[in-house]
Structure 1
Amino acid sequence: MRKLFTLRLVGINVACWLLAATTVLAQGVRGRVIDGATRSAIPGATIVVMNTSVGATADANGDYSLKLDPGNYTLRVSFVGYQTASVPVTVSSGEPVVANVTLSDAAESLGEVVVIGSRSTQVRTSVETVAPVDIIQSRDLVATGQVDITQQLNFVAPSFNSSRQTVADGTDHIDPATIRGLGPDQVLVLLNGKRRHNQALINVNGTIGRGSVGTDMNAIPSAAVERIEVLRDGAASQYGSDAIAGVINLRLKERPGTSVIAQVGQQYKGDGQVAQIGVNHGIKIGQKGGFLSLTGEFRHRGATKRAGDYNGPVYVNWNVARATGETDAAYIARRQGLYDQDQTRIRANNFDLSDNMLIGNSQVDNIGGFLNARLPITAKTSFYATGGINYRNGKAAGFYRYPFQTSQVITALYPNGFLPNIESKINDQSLLAGVSGESKGYRWDISNVYGGNSFRFDVTNSNNASQFAQGANAQTNFYAGTLSFYQNTANASVAKDYGSSVGLKSFNVAVGAEYRMDFYRIRNGEEASYRNFDPASGRAGGAQVFPGFQPANAVNASRNVVGAYIDIETDLSERLLVNTAARYENYSDFGGNLAAKLAARYKFTDAFSLRGAISNGFRAPSLHQRQFSAISTVFVSTGQGLEPRQTGTFRNDSPIAQAFGVPSLTAERSVNYSVGVTSQPLSNLSITIDTYQIDIRDRIIYSNQFTRGTSGAGLIVANILNAAGQQEVNAAQFFANAVNTRTRGIDIVVATSPRLNKGTLDLTFAANFNETRLTGDIKRPANLPNDAVFGNFLFNRQDSARLTLAQPKSKIAFTANYRLNKFGAVLRLTRFGEVATYDPANPLLDEFFSPKLVTDFSVSYRVFKNLTATLGANNILDVYPDKLQKTAQPTPSRFGSAVLDNSSFGRFVYSRNATQFGFNGGYYFLNLSASF
């Protein structure tokens, strides 16, 4: 049963047999979990010992084992699509008790045990928690037909959004991911409950999450993931910085046995070929619950091409401005003459106007491996470890450089211009090791996790135009530099339930401390990647598409963070559950922050509960935002096309930023409110509805270009840049705490499993509606005039729309999953809400894109006992977003009038600034999954 957002409490006929032996070997419980209808094993079934931290997962044969001291216990056995079984067992000295469990289909209630968001040992389902939590099992992720984790989540979690970007430098290779329409850096990612390091790349192009630093979840093999838990609530008081929108926790596989997932597919248009193979092998270590799980995965994603036909100048620039005093007739005639010259040369050189841009998915090859292990040391103490490495090689294209652009093109080298490439090499490593145990009711955990990410930029098929004197011998490939970010986090925690001591069902108290070190580094590129060898020539220096990082950009920075928390959760009565938490963190580079939370759930009846929470949170500025600097070519919309500008991003503490009056970065701060209802009116029907409001002040933004000029505001900028020795830089940018926002929304999840005579049918309806708007005034740099011109330089209409309109305001998903013997079918309908983009200054260039409905369908058949084949299609009806509307084509008859064009002379058919679900069309695939 596909489980989205809610974990399903299950129940119908349970048969359980208890056998005990007398030979003194080991104490505990072992057994097998099987399907009551088919009598086959249920791999992955969850076995939890209630009121303890002990649990296990059934292996490929359905077998499990638990290490327990003598005593009376209750096992809770569950799996998606089956009834949950509560099994009493008595453990005595001697051989393990055998408890075999038979589960039946047709869930009686829809939920499973929720772990994230609570440090209590009390077993709770999603309708029993104080905050909304979604659990997505691995088979639900595989059923999407996607191979990357971010894309899998995008189609099973309506509050989650991730769309691939195009012509966005490094962001083509790492997908920005968000929750509830907020930023990529406002969601915290955990791996096996421990903080996951951020990516090295900072998004500085015009994409979702511009100016932010996210976490690269695609560096984790999807074949290694057992399930993903999504906490949709502010949780900075529990987990620390970044958890303003929520928390995503990826749990890795632990069960013995071997599983293999392989997929091949391609887009309907014949490109974008995908090949994936992932292998997970679990080994049982000893008889006390030890295991070693190893995963290897390879993914290939081919590029897609969705560019339109180019209709701009190629050899001769006819898109020229009117000369002073020039009449309309003379201007039109001059442009007509230049246009005719250009067309003649295009025909003579057979220049292909339909194949000079790569707009769509970039090409990516991804290979990685992970291990997950636990080794008991004593009866109640275990060592655990998780580690992984990942390597990704990407290739994305920038804007085509045409031969008429002589300041950017060495025509002796590229007589017909060239399409430069950014080739990325992304390395990701992590290692977690820890010891956990229990003594006299105290549950303790000590761990350390070290991980990091590096992003190397190589520019190929390009040139440094200032090397024009070398002609056809000029350099074409450049090493442009490397970004890296590493993090070390040490944790210690202890918890105990004092419920029995104070006469309550539960009174769990957890305290913990954390010490974290962040390391950020920029390595400069080779000299030819950034240097202008002949400034007097007027030609651009550095590698076209991505000028390399200069020695002045190189940085090796670090900081440390100290934190401590207390978390209390108690069942004050059979109906009232209360959770409160507080956390203090101190950052060596900007100071401290205190976050707190109060949440409660009141159960009016077994079928209806009310829950709510109020909390404050924070997000510390990343080291990237504090330390990043670069000189790059940025294409800026001017209303009549895209104009390249040499733009400098200067550090927040640099003399240039100080000259502008930009204050030092501080933390973003939030206040979260949520109220929800949970209901289970029928045994096989679950409903959760949660409303929320998230107020964030001092959001960090990446400013627009403060452009130099000869008068007014431009002259002020020119004077600042010239005084700093940046005469070649056309514009300056920086990071600043500048805006406040308010996000309001509602999440709805309805899940049911109607009873059928034959087969099983699981239905899930899930929706998210949200709206973000700006509140208060924009905080302008202190040393600049408070006028509209400088306001647009800092944060303009385009920036505002990117925060408030560029992500779908709603996402609604309906899923039907039917199974009958060896046959299965999944139908998914996903409606992506409207999005919009604004022009920086001209409302006539604003674009609006209507909602779209995407249909996915797949059928599966169990060919052999251990092999299942799935044939399916994503976006089976080949739906595309709305095309750009402001695409009036410049033709000779229009030379005398202004042309409003968002398509960059026809090259962009679809918006690259706001994407609902991408613009690649339908995709069909064949998936093979096997378990042994």
Structure 2
Amino acid sequence: MRNTYLYRWLILASIFSLFIALTTSAQTISGQVTDATTGTGLPGVSVLVTGQTAGAITDANGLYNLSVSPGSYTLRFSFVGYTTQNIPVQVTAGNTSTVSVKLVEGLASLNEVVVVGSRSTQARTSTETVAPVDVIQSRDLQATGQIDLTQQLNFVAPSFNSSRQTVSDGTDHIDPATLRGLGPDQVLVLLNGKRQHNQALININGTIGRGSVGTDLNAIPSSAIERIEVLRDGASSQYGSDAIAGVINLRLKERPGTTVNAQVGQYYKGDGQVAQIGINHGFKLGEKGFLSLTGEFRHRGATNRAGDYTGPVYTNWNVGQQSGESAAAYVARRQSLYQQDQTLIQQNNFSLKNNLQVGNARVDNAGFFLNARVPIANSNASFYASGGLNYRRGLAGGFYRYPYQTSQVITSIYPNGFLPNIQSSINDQSLLVGVNGETKGWRWDISNVYGGNSFRFDVTNSNNASLAYLGTRNNPTSFYAGTLSFYQNSADISAAKDFGKQLGLTSFNVATGLTYRNDQYRIKPGEAASYLNFSPTSGQIGGSQVFPGYQPANAVNATRNVYGGYIDLESDVTTRLLLNAAGRYEYYSDFGGNLAGKIAARYRFSEAFSLRGSISNGFRAPSLHQRYFSAISTVFVSNGTILEPRQTGTFRNDSPIAQAFGVPPLGAERSTNYSIGITSRPLPNVSVTVDAYQINITNRIIYSNQFSRSTSGAGLIVANILNGAGQTDVNSAQFFANAVNTQTQGIDVVIATNPRLRTGTLDITLAANFNQTKLVGDIQRPANIPTDATFGNFLFNRQDSARLTVAQPKSKIQLTFNYRLRKFGAVLRFSRFGTVQAYDPANPALDEMQNPKLITDLSLSYRILKNLNMTVGANNLFDIYPDRLRVTNYPTAERYGSAALDNSSFGRFVYSRSATQFGFNGGYYFVNLSANF
């Protein structure tokens, strides 16, 4: 695969070089865009030829060049924080036209021309579209002080949510990201308008997005991004499966010049050191072409916010009362065991502090991206390409294995136990190539994008307890546990034409296209020592502790083909009424077809007020991961007293075991989206958008809870099924199933203004999202397994429902002040994260709730030189943490149980890891240097 991929790159590079050689010049429009107050050049201004696809971005000095044919045009100049200007220009053969513009300070991102959500050539700002769109510029991302793309978005887009997870296997290394409170797999990610591949990892631990497969946004260097468009509306009919909650479109940089951004920082606690450097350089290729190259390196140190451990270490004193034992005798026996343990702890100088890593995993990330366009000689067509390579290496801890846990620990190797680590190696690649142009008024595009993501698991500082008979010599402590991979190839052909003039309308755009996609999902098994039990009768647990390797029985190489076609109509029916209608049919080779449609409209009552709304249906096809993932893993489950390890098997939906349980084949999730909103300019320097929405989803795919074996009831049925399949070492079974229906309701609000000041400029933006998700209808259950509360044999319990309904903030409100005075700048941001909750699997009295918190970010910048800017800042300035867990398990005080498994870990979890608002690392300070040449 790697060699094949390299050959593809070499062939495409050769084609790319050929197109460069064919480049020729055309009529040129050039000029400079400057700040009307200071006279300095403005980099990154969008220059668009209205009614066409031609456009440019100004360089570091505000200069731009456009190549067009002779004729009359209107140029649209737009930039965040400035008022958009439309300038007419006449281009004649043999002459160079010069159009220079002075932009005046204006509203923030509500004035930026958007691309996503519309295939029309009419330039529309986010207040002029039929659906709400957030436009986030690269400087907005940089101003957050964050270095990962998911965290940058988390603090600039209220409808977007992403929190880092901890002690959750692979999910420690890839952040789940959501939109409007839905799942990571219900938002579609585009790169330069083309579908971006999913990650290889499926989230199967107790985190946000459990059972889902998202897109690894952190595989894309933020230094390569010019802007991000977030379409907050159902868009399956426009862009295909997954776009139930909306679409995130990442636009790569195009402008010439060099940009360097470097940052160092750390948390107030003195850990989590961060170092990042990103370099982007853009070249001109002829008069109209460009080549933009980006390299970025990020280092993120580990953090740890674990509490002091209060449980057993060498002697297990956390025992139950024996049959016939009196209460007094039980207390005395328990106390005697406790004292034995304390004596051994002191003798061995065992530290009870921080013996679990609860916080960010360590991650080192290196990425390279390119973005290019080359006009094809003597034609109205261009060749374009974009893509990149990204490599990430991570290190995260699991649960500590203590010496008393003799079934898991080889004490001759680890006399004091050990903290096992999961070491990840994540590779991400993508390459988009295409040709587009215009012929007789038809704008056409042919493209192909190939991309993939692989996730290799290695386990270090561990052991296979069943190899205890080998002693310390030749006994492995590191294991290769297997590799997940997902590859996707997408081909598209599309055409669009505006028939407005023929019909006597301002616009009547017709867009249509065909798509083909091939998905491939693989699981490669680990080495034998990572999963085998070499002494089954010894009572020792086989496989590498923390993460047993994938077994040969789990190996899979599954593919599917997806065929689709769509039509998209958009028309300015009158100067006040804008209509949009879209339909798409897609056929999946592994489960069938789906038809999605959308109708949307915007009516402008006046310059100060418009009403917009949409109705659509959508779908999300089950991922190949959900259909074919299987594994045997050690899962820590609360038994009401402690977290105990269980060998749990995840079995494929089409496996004999799932069929014996009565689990039906996976089908698509289906949605109905309703949206209505207003856009308003009540004052010349005030802009308001308010959008309400309701999203109904049926047959949501969930990752089931454990169905555990026992000697009676439903547990006996489970035992018989597992034993009959030869899974005698497996304690419980899990699988994926269409099981629940949900309804999500919410409101998005964005208010922007820039009050006139005597000195300097000030932009104020208030953005908020309020959402609520609830379960509706009955929960579908396996046909052959009765619900058994005694043994917790539920497909979907209270804890699972909380992850869908209350584990993400019910609201997020962000108020940002951006002040500029000559060389000085300041950004002050207040972010209020709403309530989150975690439910106990069975006992409502043990539920946990975290109250709303207000986070303050402050950064101050100064332009040292013309092209060099320094920023110092602090995120979470006042070192705010979430509420501590309410119920804590200190067995010496005879208090047991908690919500979400966290508090039954003997004090090691101070904050919930099952429901997170903004993380629990505390304050962070940083220094940033940026330069433009």
TM-score (norm 1): 0.96
Alpha-carbon separation, structure 2, partners of 1:257 and 1:903: 56
Paired with 1:684 and 1:678, the residues of 2 have a C-alpha distance of: 14
Partner SS state of residue 903, structure 2: coil
- Quote the residue 1:815 is aligned against: 816
Contact 1:106 1:755 in 2 (8 A): no
Equivalence map 1:113-262=2 (5 Å): 113-262=113-262
Counterparts of 1:82 and 1:234 in 2: how far apart (Å)? Answer: 30
Matched position secondary structure for 1:589: coil
| Distance change >3 Å, CA 792–CA 613, structure 1 → 2 | farther
- Given that 2:26 and 2:69 are in contact with CA atoms closer than 8 Å, whether structure 1 keeps it comes out as no
Give the alignment of 1:557-596 within 5 angstroms: 557-596=558-597
Q: Is the 8 A contact 2:296 2:367 kept in 1?
A: yes
- For 1:663 and 1:107, the matched residues in 2 are separated by 53
Partner of 2:533: 532
Provide the rounded CA distance (Å) in 2 between the counterparts of 1:344 and 1:469: 28
Q: 3-state DSSP class of the match of 1:472?
A: coil
Cα offset, 1:61, TM superposition: 2.1
2:797 matched to 1:796?
yes
Partner of 1:494: 495
Q: Do the aligned residues in 2 keep the contact of 1:884 with 1:903 (CA within 8 Å)? A: no
- How far did residue 107 of structure 1 move? 4.3
Map of 1:6 onto structure 2: none
Task: Write the deviation string for residues 245-270 of structure 1: whole angstroms up to 9, x where unpaired.
Answer: 00000000000000000000000000
Match of 1:4 in 2: none
> Whole-Å Cα distance in 2 between the matches of residues 508 and 680 of structure 1?
27
Give the C-alpha shift of residue 899 in structure 1. 5.8
1:791 Cα offset (Å):
8.0
- 2-structure distance, mates of 1:110, 1:650: 48
In the TM superposition, what is the alpha-carbon distance from 1:552 to its structure 2 partner?
0.2
Partner Cα separation in structure 1 for residue 639 and residue 240 of structure 2 = 42
- Taking the aligned partners of 1:798 and 1:83, their CA distance within structure 2 comes to 49
State how far apart, in whole Å, the 2-side matches of 1:705 and 1:817 are. 50
CA contact (8 A) 2:240 2:584 kept: yes
Cross-structure match for 1:361: 360
Aligned length: 905
- Does the CA-based 8 Å contact 1:298-1:366 persist in structure 2? yes
Equivalent residue number for residue 264 of structure 1: 264
* Whole-angstrom distance in 2 between the partners of 1:656 and 1:869: 60
Q: Distance in 2 between matches of 1:129 and 1:502?
A: 22
- Matching residue of 2:508: 507
Match of 2:632 in 1: 631
The answer as to 2:460 corresponding to 1:463 is no
Contact 2:707 2:792 in 1 (8 A): no
Shift of residue 380, structure 1, vs aligned partner = 1.3
Q: Describe how 1:209-608 pairs up with structure 2 within 5 A.
A: 209-287=209-287, 289-378=288-377, 379-473=379-473, 474-608=475-609
Structure 1 residue 25, shift from structure 2 partner: 7.7
Structure 2 counterpart of 1:153, one-letter code: L
Give the conservation status (yes or no) of the 8 Å contact 1:637–1:840: no
* Helix, strand or coil at the partner of 2:396: strand
Residue 144 to residue 406, structure 1, CA distance change in 2 (3 Å): same
Q: Alpha-carbon deviations, 1:142-183, whole Å to 9, x = none?
A: 000000000000000000000000000000000000001000
Q: Deviations over 1:121-157 (max 9, x none)?
A: 0111111110000000000000000000000000000
Aligned partner of 1:680 in structure 2 is 681
Output the CA distance in 2 between the equivalents of 1:108 and 1:849. 33
Q: Partner residue of 2:663?
A: 662
Between the aligned partners of 1:622 and 1:588, the Cα distance in structure 2 is: 12
Secondary structure of the structure 2 residue equivalent to 1:713: helix
Deviations 1:588-612 (A, max 9, x none): 0000000000000011111100011
Letter in 1 for 2:749: I
Q: Which residue of structure 2 lines up, in the alignment, with residue 7 of structure 1? A: none
> What does the per-residue CA deviation read over 1:518-561, in whole Å, with 9 as the maximum and x for residues that have no partner?
00000000000000000000110000000000000000110000
TM-score (norm 2): 0.96
SS of 2:861's equivalent in the other structure is: strand
Query: Cα deviation per residue 1:390-439 (whole Å; 9 max; x = unaligned)?
Result: 00000000000000000000000000000000000000000000000001
SS in 1 for 2:546: coil
Distance apart, 1:104 and its partner CA: 2.3
Amino acid of the residue matched to residue 917 of structure 1?
A: F
Cα separation, 1, equivalents of 2:204 and 2:110: 43
Question: How far apart in 1 are the matches of 2:903 and 2:37?
Answer: 59
* Secondary structure of the corresponding residue to residue 113 of structure 2: coil
Q: Contact (CA 8 Å) 1:106, 1:760: kept in 2 or not?
A: no
**Secondary structure at the residue paired with 2:99?**
strand
2:778 and 2:790 mapped to 1: Cα distance? 15
Shift of 1:903: 4.7
Kindly state the Cα deviation for residue 355 of structure 1 after the two structures are TM-superposed: 2.7
Q: Which residue in 2 is equivalent to 1:880?
A: 881
Instruction: Indicate the SS of the match to 1:785.
Output: coil
Segments of structure 1 that go 5 or more residues without pairing to the other structure are 1-23
- 1:714-729 aligned within 5 A: 714-729=715-730
Would the aligned equivalents of 1:188 and 1:248 in 2 still touch at CA under 8 Å?
yes
> Secondary structure at 1:793's aligned position in 2?
coil
Residues 107 and 752 in structure 2, CA contact (< 8 A), matched pair in contact too: no
- Partners of 2:73 and 2:790 lie apart in 1 by 71
Whole-Å separation in 2 of the counterparts to 1:856 and 1:433: 40
Match of 2:88 in 1: 88
Aligned residue number for residue 8 of structure 1: none
Q: Do the aligned partners of residues 766 and 899 (structure 1) sit closer, same or farther apart at CA in structure 2, a change above 3 Å counting?
A: closer
Moved more, 107-116 or 308-317: 107-116
1: CA distance between counterparts of 2:639 and 2:196? 40
Partners of 2:787 and 2:842 lie apart in 1 by: 17
Q: Deviations over 1:853-881 (max 9, x none)?
A: 00000000000000000000000000000
Residues 820-873 of structure 1 deviation map (CA, whole Å, 9 limit, x = unaligned): 000000000000000000111122221011000000000000000000000000
Per-residue deviation at 1:70? Answer: 1.4
Equivalent residues of 1:792, 1:840 under 8 A apart: no
CA distance in 2, matches of 1:572, 1:898: 66
User: Given that residues 106 and 754 in structure 1 are in contact (C-alpha distance below 8 angstroms), is that contact kept between their aligned partners in structure 2?
Assistant: no
Contact 2:428 / 2:452 at 8 angstroms: preserved in 1?
Answer: yes
Secondary structure at 2:615's aligned position in 1?
strand
Q: What secondary structure, in the 3-state scheme, does the structure 2 residue paired with 1:765 have?
A: strand
Contact 1:875 1:921 in 2 (8 A): yes
Distance of aligned partners of 1:792 and 1:771 in 2 relative to their CA distance in 1, 3 Å threshold: farther
Indicate conservation of the 8 Å contact 1:738/1:780, yes or no.
yes
Query: Which letter does structure 2 place at the counterpart of 1:871?
Result: V
Q: CA deviation at 1:787?
A: 5.7
Q: Which moved more, 1:876-885 or 1:843-852?
A: 843-852
CA–CA distance in 1 between the matches of 2:443 and 2:829?
42
CA distance in 2, matches of 1:903, 1:654: 34
Q: Which amino acid aligns with 2:149?
A: I
Question: 2 CA distance for matches of 1:95 and 1:430?
Answer: 40
* Letter aligned with residue 176 of structure 2: P
Cα drift, residue 793 of structure 1:
2.0
Q: Give the Cα–Cα distance (whole angstroms) in 1 for the partners of residues 171 and 233 of structure 2.
A: 27
Could you tell me how far 1:109 is from its partner in structure 2?
9.8
Query: Deviation at 1:662?
Result: 0.6
Per-residue Cα deviation, 1:281-310 (whole angstroms, up to 9, x for no partner): 0000101x1000000000000000100000
